[in-house]
Each structure stands twice: as structure tokens, then as C-alpha cells.
Amino acid sequence: MGAFAQRSLVALQNRFKLDQYLDSPRTYMASALHIGPLPLDGRAFLAPMSGITDHGFRKIARRFGASVVVSEMVASDEFVKGDAEYTLRAEGEGITPHIVQLAGCDPRWMGEAARLAQANGADVIDINMGCPAKRVTGGYAGSALMRDLDHALTLIEATIAAVSVPVTVKMRLGWDDASHNAAELARRAEAAGAALVTVHGRTRCQFYKGHANHAAIAPVKAAVSIPVVCNGDVETIEQARAVRTLSGADAVMIGRAALGRPWLVGRIARGLEGADPGDPSRAAQAEAVIEHYESLLTAMGEKAGLRHARKHLAASLDHLSHEGTRIDASERAAILTGEAPGQIITTLRALYARPPELLAA
């Protein structure tokens, strides 16, 4: 059997193991969560993350059971102008529901971008009012909009007026600790027609430091009747349950913890429905990591794809190490600095097939 045929056979075998994991019995919550008229099959969402939630990653996470996956942030004006990077970010073929997150500070561009995204198949438009990055807030977009709720409302209204699909809004608690105004922004967003809001339990000035204040999201939930999603510091099923209790939120959103583990959000979604299903088999994990790696090479080209994939592969190796798999420095370097995709894939398969060692107590 040739190398290509053998690799295809291994992929099919591992995909079968993944299908067995995904087809295991599920007990859905009695009352399904909706985004507008769209019913969802769970209450754990994958957060939009620039440089992380590319099309391939979202597609795999959704297949593993993530209830919702959201695109990387798409700059509204650049998207309308046809910029290749943002067009790629908005890709959603094979993903249902397909949610595109838009960012901007001009109502005209937000409306045009929303209209274009819907024309290209988006089922939901999400508005970014939570990104803390200086390059975003410096342009009066992202979480900078929480300093001017009147202007933020013009963007929400323009987006909703431009499309027939549901529109959601992602925000933070406020700009700083002196201005927790998420409840007021959520109330205005609902009055304008928003279908759901997500709140990251930090202020913009915190960036990602300290701990998310999930209890501070409870006033947002009390202020609106639309679903509220709680974001920040959720890594386990136990944390997800606790966060929902503290915040009163209808669902949780998982961000950085999913890097290198596209199955994590689906595991948490299932855990919120009942018992923890555990991680998929090592073989299924390997197949998912390799599928994502290959999708990056295809979408971006080999040179850019290799560079972009390194943070994902590094996170996957960290997770393997944490689970007890011994990875020596030369193997790690071969994966993270290598430029031969075939060799990188071979090394990845070998590592995922290696039995984990007992972890020190």
C-alpha cells in the first residue's frame, strides 16, 4: 500500500472513531435556546478570536458539538472593499449556523458589510463591541464604543436595518471599573432589535488580566429578555455550570481554552446537558489537529499556513504534555519550526499514538 493510500485509510479509521464519539447518546435541554428564530442544539459557544477561529477551526469545533461558532472579527469597510484577508475570515461553507462578526465605527460600512455577509450565506451577524486591542479601539471600534452608547446604537440600528437575519452584540462590562454600562447597552440593543448579547466579564482596561467578574453580568441578564451569553475564564464543565449560576446567563462562551483543542467547546456543551463525555480518543484528536493544519495550508498557501498554524500546534502539544505524553525538545522543534508538512503530520501522528505516562501526584 502506498503512503498516500495508507494515510487515507488511517484518516478514515480515525474519522469513524470520531463519528462514534459524536453519535453517542445525548440528552438535550428541555427548552432550546434560540437566536431570533434559529434554534440552537446546546449552550456552549466558541468565541470569535482573531488569528484563531478561522474557517477550518470553526468547522471542526462545530462538528465536535460546539453549539455556536463565530468567525474571526471582520473589519466592515475592508470586507466591503473586497480585502482578501477579511473575505477569508467571513467564510462559512459547511457551518450551520454561520455567524459573521463585524467590527467598525461607521454605520454605512456596518450596514453594507452586514448586507454582503448575508448575501454570502451568513445566518447571523454579530457586532463586535468588546475587542480591547489598541489597533481596534484606536479606530473607535470594538470596546471603545462602550464610551459612547449613542454612537454604538447607531451602528446596531444600521446593521439591523440592512439585513433580515438576526443580529447579536458582543460587549464587555464597560470601558473601566468606573463605567460598568453593559446592562444599559444591552437594554438599548434589545430595544433596537438585537436577538442576543454576549458579555465578557472584564472591562476593556483589564484586557485579559485578572479574573472575569461573572457576577457582574447578572444585571445585564436582569435588564433584558433576550438571551445573554457569559464569556471569560471558562475552561471546564464545572466552571461553565458555576458561571451560569453566578451570572444567570443562558449560555457560556469559551475562548482561549479551546486553542489547540477544537473538541473542548463541544465537550462542555454536552457536559451542560448531562454527564461529562470526556475527550475524544487520541486518534480522533490527532485527526482533528491534522485536518485543521491541512486546512490552513490550503486556505492560506503553504508559507503563510505554516506560520499561522504554529500557535495552534504549540497549544496542541502543550495539551498533550499536560495529559502525560512525553514530547522531547527535538520533536517539538520539528513540528513548530519544520517546513515539510508531510513530516510534521507524521510526527504529530506518532505523538498522539504515544501512550501517556503517569503524571506525578
* Cα 151 to Cα 145, 146, 183, 188, distances in angstroms: 7, 9, 16, 11
Q: For 338-354, how does the pLDDT look when each residue is reduced to its tens digit (9 = 90+)?
A: 999 999 999 999 999 99
- Mode of pairing for the β-strands spanning 34-35 and 38-39: antiparallel
* pTM: predicted TM-score of the whole model, two decimal places: 0.88
Burial 41-55, CB ≥16 within 10 A → b, else e: ebbbbbbbbbebbbb
Residue range 93-143, pLDDT digits in tens: 999 999 999 999 999 999 999 999 999 999 999 999 977 666 676 666 787
Marked catalytic residue, from 105, 131, 205, 230: 131
C-alpha 184/C-alpha 290 separation (Å) is: 44
CB 146 within 8 A of CB 185: yes
Over residues 283-294, mean pLDDT: 97
Average pLDDT over residues 54-58: 97
The string of DSSP letters for 41-71 reads S-SEEEPP-TTTS-HHHHHHHHHTT-SEEEE
Query: What is the pLDDT, as a whole number, of residue 25?
Result: 40
Statement: residue 3 has pLDDT above 50? no
pLDDT tens by residue, 158-193: 999 999 999 999 999 987 777 799 999 999 999 999
Strand, coil or helix: 349: helix
Distance CA 80, CA 73 (A): 14
Our answer to whether residue 205 is catalytic in this structure is no
Residue-level pLDDT at 354 = 94
Confidence bin at 211 (pLDDT 50/70/90): confident
For the record, the C-alpha cell of 146 comes out as 462602550
Angstrom distance (rounded) from CA 215 to CA 207:
18
Angle made by CA atoms 236, 126, 212, in degrees to the nearest 5: 35
Q: What is the pLDDT of residues 277-287, one digit of tens each?
A: 999 999 999 99
In which band, very low, low, confident or very high, does the pLDDT at 196 lie, cut at 50, 70 and 90?
Answer: very high
Domains of the chain: 3-15+280-353 (no CATH), 27-273 (3.20.20.70)
Instruction: Tell me the CA end-to-end span of the chain in Å, nearest whole number.
Output: 44
